[in-house]
Amino acid sequence: MLNLRIYRAAFLPVIVAVFVLAFSFRNEPGALGTTLAPAAFNGQSADALLTQLARNHPDRRPGSPGDDAVAARVASSLRGYGFSVRESAFEGHTVDGTRRLETVIGEQPGASSGAIVVVAHRDALGSTATADLSGTATLIELARVLAGRTLNRTVELVSISGSNGLAGATHLASALGGPIDAVVVLGDVAGKRVIEPVVVAWSGGENIAPLLLRNTAAAAVRAETGIAPGGADLAAQFARLALPLTLSEQGPFDARGIPAVLLSTAGERGPGVSAPVSAGQLTNFGRAALQTISALDTGPSIPPPTAYLTYKQMTVPLWPIRLLVLTLILPVLAAAIDGFARARRRGHAVGRWAGWVLATALPFALALLFLFGLGAVGLIRVTAPGPVGAGAVPVHVRGAVEMAAALAVLVATMFPIRAFVVRRIGVQGSPAEAGGAAAVLLVMCAISLAIWITNPFAAALIVPALHLWMWIVAPEVRLRVPLAVTLLLAGVAPIAMVILYYASQFGLGPLGVIWTGVLLVAGGGLGIPALLEWSIVGGCAVSVGLIATRATRAEAPEIAPVTVRGPVTYAGPGSLGGTKSALRR
């Protein structure tokens, strides 16, 4: 079934794609500058306000009276500085369940169109949590400074709640109207301990903050604090784009096409409840925020978020990466199409075997949709729109029951429902034959292309499985069990490495990874199309495992003895004198 000549020939476009990628690297854009001095930011005043707010309102869980009291204080301060203030309330999905959350927006109009939005959350899951209020204290001090300035762009200062799970940021990103030039999110800007990156640009979607905005904020932080903003290597960038997740509040804005970055000494995960703060750090980061706002106010428009990779002050856009991933899929696709044609000529029912593969994916889809349904009807109480930090939602008895129920659905449907569907399809024979092999490869290629259309980085995670599993399912190749298992595990290794990366970045243990996945599925953070696509990938993996099991049990085909032999010496053209070359001799 496997034609190696077609498979090898289909690698020629990969060479072209690699050359295109090599010549697609461009220099990163520089940072926007400003002539305005950020020294107007009064760090001592902001630090005194921070201490007062933390002392007067130590309990600020989302939607609590303390949270609402801080919102009222922010609204009063913004009005006192001459901002036009509007307040809105909505029902948000938080780590405490559905709560009524307040959003406060203060607006200072500019001379031209466009707006710069500065966002800070005020809630916290632990008592006092002074560092979590440093963004709010900075926001109020920025209002005092900006109140006396003539602005080119409108500036909106926003106080939100529901930071864990991104409820407030997600609602604000969907509610913002008019052209938005950029969003600057203030996290922990007073923490003594610095965790890189302090300028966070990751998104909850396939696009991340533009480099012009990232470099502008990074230059301001470096100039005012002396701290390197930090970055990520290629592997981390690839993981972030293949499975876009973030704990911090710039994510929902970038996912909706609004350029946004986070400034935070605690990085993406945020500060601990008892994290110490520093007045000097608050002053420096407050001035960095003011410098960033001033540069954005006087500079050109910021481009929208896109997908790209950076390496040593160079950047490569999405399209050459998309081209390269497509060319890496093509060799297996060409071999699968050729195998399909061969199998059909020999009378194999490839279509029925494709139904067998999809039937194997059905239990995964039912288990994931079961969790999604539990979240939709409210049986899973915590359904935040984004991932939550470690320990934000402990795995209690009810959570363990929910995970066990999903596992029970997977196990219960893996055998009876799959067997029922297979019987209805009328599959006969062994999947290790040519029909089953062609069907598995075709389904794998089809789902890879479907994922590639929306996210080529995610499709790249499946490319190793395409090339390695092809040798497992090929009928003419008989692999020993250890080698087949090694190739099967190597195919899923990229996906496992991405999960391990997020476990490290989010501070999650094995149980925390599973629980976070349950909450993401139940809250709709992954989306039904993605759930169905990855269910099919899981079905393909199980199908390859079943084929490998059947193939190793089957006896290797005997080599037919040679009964007809040609002449011992060469008897080709020219040997009997029938060509001009022979006549010359």
Q: What share of the chain is helix, strand, coil (3-state, %, to 5)?
A: 55, 10, 35
Q: Which of 307, 368, 342 is nearest to 534 (CA)?
A: 368
Residue 268 has pLDDT above 70, yes or no: yes
The verdict on residue 180 lying in a domain is yes
Average pLDDT over residues 494-511: 91
DSSP string, 284-345: HHHHHHHHHHHHHHHS-PPPPPB-EEEETTEEEEHHHHHHHHHHHHHHHHHHHHHHHHHHHH
Element (H, E) at 116: strand 115-121
Please check whether residue 307 is in contact with residue 237, taking contact to mean a CB–CB distance below 8 angstroms: no
Place of tokens 């703060």: 277
Mapped onto helix, strand or coil, the DSSP state of residue 278 is coil
Strands (E) across 312-462 are located at: 314-317
- The answer for 129, left when phi > 0, alpha when psi is -120 to 50, beta otherwise, is left
Q: Which residue has the higher pLDDT, 156 or 228?
A: 156
Predicted confidence band at 171 (pLDDT cuts at 50, 70, 90)? very high
Peptide bond into 244 cis (omega under 30): no
The reply to whether 371 and 493 lie within a common domain is: yes
**pLDDT: which is higher, 94 or 401:** 94
Number of domains in the chain: 2
Question: What confidence score (pLDDT) does residue 585 get?
Answer: 42
Q: What's the residue count for the chain?
A: 585
pLDDT band, residue 582 (cuts 50/70/90): very low
Position 20 in a domain: no
Beta strands in 188-251 (DSSP E): 199-200
| Strand, coil or helix: 486 | helix
Report the distance separating Cα 99 and Cα 268, nearest Å.
Answer: 24
| pLDDT for the residue 241 | 95
> Which of 391, 323, 531, 510 lies closest to 447, judged by CA?
531
**Inside any domain, residue 501:** yes
- Indicate whether 193 belongs to any domain: yes
Say which amino acid occupies 31.
A
Residue 570 has pLDDT above 60, yes or no: no
**Mean pLDDT in residue range 408-435:** 72
CATH number at residue 104: 3.40.630.10
Say which DSSP state 40 is in: G
Where in the sequence is the domain holding 299, given as residue range(s)?
A: 28-306
Lowest mean pLDDT among 110-124, 503-517, 534-548, 561-575: 561-575
DSSP sequence for 548-561: HHHHHHSPPPPPPP
Question: Position 394: which residue type?
Answer: P
Shared domain for 82 and 134, answered yes or no, is yes
Residue with the bigger pLDDT between 518 and 440: it is 440
Residue type, 273: V
Which pLDDT belongs to residue 230?
81
| Judgement on whether residues 381 and 292 belong to the same structural domain of the protein | no
The residue among 534, 494, 465 whose CA lies nearest residue 235 is: 494
In a domain, 173, yes or no: yes
Mean pLDDT for the stretch of residues 121-140: 93
What mean pLDDT do residues 3-17 have? Answer: 90
Q: What is the pLDDT of residue 35?
A: 67
pLDDT of 73: 95
Q: Are residues 494 and 355 in the same domain?
A: yes
Instruction: Kindly state the average pLDDT of the residues 86-92.
Output: 92
Burial of 568 (0-12, 13-18, 19+ CB in 10 A): exposed
Q: Which residue is listed with tokens 């000097």?
A: 280
Within this chain, do residues 247 and 152 fall inside the same structural domain, yes or no? yes
Determine, yes or no, domain membership for 297: yes
Is 86 in the same domain as 200? yes
pLDDT at 552 exceeding the cut of 70: no
- Does residue 531 lie in a domain region? yes
Predicted local confidence at residue 556, as pLDDT: 46
Which pLDDT score, from 0 to 100, does residue 540 have?
92
Burial of 465 (0-12, 13-18, 19+ CB in 10 A): buried
The residues near 18 (Cβ < 8 Å, ≥ 6 apart) are 324
**Of the ranges 78-87, 236-245, 264-273, which one carries the lowest mean pLDDT score?**
264-273
In angstroms, the CA 167 to CA 123 distance is 12
Mean pLDDT of 404-420: 68
Percent of the chain clearing pLDDT 90 (strictly above): 53
Residue pair 324/18 in contact (Cβ under 8 Å)? The answer is: yes
Long-range contact list for 443-451, CB < 8 A, 24+ apart?
443/354, 443/357, 443/358, 443/536, 443/539, 443/540, 444/332, 444/336, 444/469, 444/537, 444/540, 445/329, 445/332, 445/333, 445/336, 447/533, 447/536, 447/537, 447/540, 448/329, 449/329, 449/333, 450/533, 451/533
Confidence check: pLDDT of 188 > 90: yes
Give residue 525's pLDDT band: very low, low, confident or very high (50, 70, 90).
confident
Q: Does residue 420 have a pLDDT over 90? A: no
Q: Is 132 a member of any domain?
A: yes
Phi and psi of 378, rounded to 5°? 90, 5
Share of the chain above pLDDT 70, in %: 88
Q: Are residues 391 and 278 in the same domain?
A: no
- pLDDT of 1 > 80? The answer is no
More confident residue, 553 or 415: 415
Give the lowest-confidence range in 112-116, 484-488, 505-509, 566-570: 566-570
Q: Give pLDDT tens digits for 274-323.
A: 899 999 999 999 999 999 999 999 889 999 999 999 998 899 999 999 99
- Residue 205, pLDDT above cutoff 80: yes
Residues 146 and 230 in one domain: yes
The average confidence (pLDDT) of the chain is 86
Asked whether residue 170 falls in the same domain as residue 110, the answer is yes
pLDDT bracket for residue 135 (50, 70, 90): very high
Final residue of a domain: which of 274, 306, 338? 306
The string of pLDDT tens digits covering residues 476-491 is 777 788 888 899 999 9
pLDDT of 537 over the 90 cut: yes
Instruction: Please write down the HEC assignment for all residues of 148-197.
Output: CCCCCCEEEEEEECCCCCCHHHHHHHHHCCCCCCEEEEECCCCECCCCCC
Top-confidence residue, 413 or 443:
443
Q: Say what the pLDDT of residue 555 is.
A: 47
Phi, psi angles (nearest 5°) of residue 522: -65, -35
Distances (CA, A) of 267 to 173, 197, 231: 21, 5, 11
Whether 410 and 482 share a structural domain:
yes
Q: CA 223, CA 33: separation in Å to the nearest integer?
A: 11
Q: Among the listed ranges 264-278, 300-314, 370-384, which one has the minimum average pLDDT value?
A: 370-384
What pLDDT sits at residue 558? Answer: 46
Mean pLDDT across 382-387: 73
What pLDDT is stored for residue 265 in this prediction? 94
Q: In this predicted structure, what is the pLDDT of residue 141?
A: 95
Question: Would you say 128 and 198 are in contact if contact means Cβ atoms under 8 Å apart?
Answer: no
Co-location of 505 and 378 in the same domain: yes
Q: What confidence tier does 574 reach under pLDDT thresholds 50, 70, 90?
A: low
Residues 361 and 301 in one domain: no
